[in-house]
Structures are given as C-alpha cells and as structure tokens.
Structure 1
Amino acid sequence: MLTVGDKFPALTLPVQQGVDALPNGETIDTGDTGGKWKVVFFWPKDFTFICPTEIIGYGELKGDFADRDAVLIGASTDTDFVHFAWRKSDERLANCDFPWIADNSKKLAHALGIVAEPEGVAFRATFIVDPHNVIQHVTVNGLNQGRNPAEALRVLDALQTDELCPCNWSQGEEVLKPAA
C-alpha cells in the first residue's frame, strides 16, 4: 500500500459529478493538483449502507476543505453511470457536489494497494495529498467501519501548520515548540 511520502498515482480515469446530465466521457487526472491539497476518499460500493453516510459527511465539509485550499474527491470501483444513478436516487448524495472517480478498472485502487480481496472492492481509504502530489496522510478502514470526515479535516489543518501538533490538536490551538 502507498503511504506517507509516496507520490499519489497519476492516472486519467472516468469521473462523474452532478446530476444534470448523463456521464459523457468526463475524466480526471489524479496526478494534477492544480497547486491545491487533495483529499481523496474511497468507499467500497455504491448503493450500500455505510458509504452514503461517509459521502454525505464529507460533502457537508466541502466548504471547509475548500477554505483550506483543498479539493475533495470521492472514488469507488463502480462506473460513472452507477455513480450518476445513485446520486439521482438520493437528494442528499446529489447535493455532494464534488467529483466521484469511477475506478471500475480498479487501476487506482490497485496502484494505491487498497483492494479488499476476495470482495474485489476498495477499502475505506482516505489519502491527504499535498500540492506537490505527495501523500501526507493515509487512513484505511475495513469494509464495515465508517470514517469521521471531521478527523480528515483536523489532520489537514495540522499538516498545513507545518509545525509539531500534539494529540487531539485542533485549529487555533497552540503547537508544540521544542526548547532551544
């Protein structure tokens, strides 16, 4: 599995966003940061039970991530048409207006090392990637445990300080200063 310090894979993959029109061959370059931080999170499968709670949780924080110069990108091993159908079926998911990678080829999931075998889907993995496309944080949950999107935001805040941040540190709190 790729980890802290590794380059995030640069692949061009199908992507789906919004519910205004059927997918039409849109793609995303996963190596392009546009000079911003990226928070890329995978869920195992569309039309499931835990996944929408996570997607909605991240979606509710999209503005907070944007305030920190970070783009939010979701992904699963489903197709862009399945993503579109799922968003159309649930207004809460339709409101999660950020790109969803359709990694049905599992190219990205395999490159990251997050494919759960024998299920053949991605683990619940979150990657925080800096503007140089270097992974700075990774968390991976099993298929049956949801994540805390607010924790990803807290970690992003800590990473962006470029300081020593103690346990449970939150934005605005003191960082650690070693004695000189």
Structure 2
Amino acid sequence: MLTVGDQFPSFSLTTVPAGPDGLNGEFITINNQSDKGKWKLFFFWPMDFTFICPTEIAAFSDMETEFSERNTAVYGVSIDSEYVHLNWRLHNETLKNLKIPMLADNKRELSAALGILHYEAGVDLRATYIVDPEGIIRHVSANDLSVGRNPEEFLRILDALQNGGLCPCSWHKGDKTL
C-alpha cells in the first residue's frame, strides 16, 4: 500500500460528474493533472449498490463546500464502471444531487497501483488519501469493509496538514499548535 511521502500514481479515469450534469449520461475524464494546484482527497469504496457506501458518499458530498474552501478537490472512486455509477445515482435518492464526481476504476489500475484491493473480495478497501498540490501523499488510511468513515475527521486532518505547525491530539482549526 502506498503511504505518506509517496507520489500519488498517475491516473486517467472516466467520471460521472458532480451535480445535475452527472445525471445526463455525459461522462468526463479526470486525471492526475485535473484540479492542478489543489489539494486532493480521494476516498475509495468497495462497490456500488451496497449499504454503507452511499452514507459515506453523501457525507463527503455534503461537506464539499468545506473542502473547497480549503482548496481541496474531493473524488469518490470505486471499481465500478461509469455506467454503474450513473445507474446508482439515478436510482438512489441519496446520491442524485452529489457535489462530487464518481470516478470509475473498473480496470482496477489506480486501486492496484495504490495497493488497496482487498485480497479476498477483489474490491477496494475503504481507503482515503489526502494528496498535496505537488502530488505527494500526506495522509492515508484504510478501514475494514464493514466500517464507514467520518468525513469530518478528514477535514480536521486536512486543516492540520495545511496549518504547517505541530498539531497535538484532537487539534482543530483555530487551536494553538505546539
């Protein structure tokens, strides 16, 4: 598994765009040059049409404005194709108004390069990467397939990384650093 300090791999993935455009079937390509100069948060989920995944996707989408205010693009990724992503968005009320794109890694190229494929299930772990504007991984975590993430914690970690100081346990934006 790639880790902190590693270069995030080059990629080019077909995407269901954010917002209403994502529901019209016109796909776009996002690659490692997209959103150049921004921080990036990538969160991976095992597969579409499951139970925990839409709760996480919606929660990250709901916080898109907070991430954007921190010059950070948020990308959701799974091994499903753009057609499966589109169908899921069309048939799941929770996902219809997403503010973040859904990237299709159906060839598993990015997931394999990152080393986040579950050995037995062959799907993505619930991995999350925070990548700085130079493409360097600054945070990585992975949850068991049965445990969802808290996007607020990733916002806190992003704030700490962007702060540049030594941030103690449970530090939040505005708190003193060491």
TM-score tier, shorter chain, comes to: over 0.9
Report the residue type matching 2:5 in the other structure. Answer: G
* Aligned partner of residue 63 in structure 1, secondary structure: helix
What residue number does 1:7 align with? 7
8 Å contact kept, 2:23–2:96: no
Question: Is the contact made by 1:23 and 1:84 (CA closer than 8 Å) also made in structure 2?
Answer: no
Q: Which runs of 5+ in 1 are unaligned?
A: none
Q: Which amino acid aligns with 2:25?
A: L
In the alignment, is the contact (CA less than 8 A) between 2:132 and 2:138 conserved in 1? yes
Q: Does 1:22 align with 2:25?
A: yes
Shift of 1:32: 4.0
2:98 aligns with 96
Identity in percent: 48
Indicate conservation of the 8 Å contact 1:33/1:132, yes or no: no
Identify the match of residue 145 of structure 1 among 144, 147, 158: 147
Tell me the residue number matched to 1:132.
Answer: 134
Q: 1:120 aligns with which of 98, 119, 122?
A: 122
Contact 2:62–2:99 (Cα < 8 Å) also in 1: no
1 CA distance for matches of 2:167 and 2:102?
A: 31
What's the CA shift for 1:54?
0.5
TM-score, structure 1 normalization: 0.94
Q: CA deviation at 1:161?
A: 0.4
8 A Cα contact 1:45 1:76, kept in partner? yes
| Superposed displacement of residue 37, structure 1 | 0.2
State the partner residue of 2:53: 51
8 Å CA contact 2:41, 2:72 repeated in 1: yes
Q: Which amino acid aligns with 1:85?
A: N
Larger radius of gyration: 1
Root-mean-square deviation over aligned CA pairs: 1.1
CA distance in 1 between counterparts of 2:99 and 2:85 reads 12
DSSP-derived class of the 2:23 partner = coil
1:20, distance to aligned residue in structure 2 (A): 3.3
Could you tell which deviates more after superposition, 165-174 or 29-38? Answer: 29-38
Across the two proteins, how many residue pairs are aligned to each other? 175
- Work out whether residues 44 and 124 of structure 2, in 8 Å CA contact, stay in contact via their aligned partners in 1: yes
Match of residue 81 from structure 1: 83
State the AA in 1 paired with 2:110.
Answer: L
Any idea what SS the aligned residue of 1:122 has?
A: coil
Moved over 4 A (4+): none
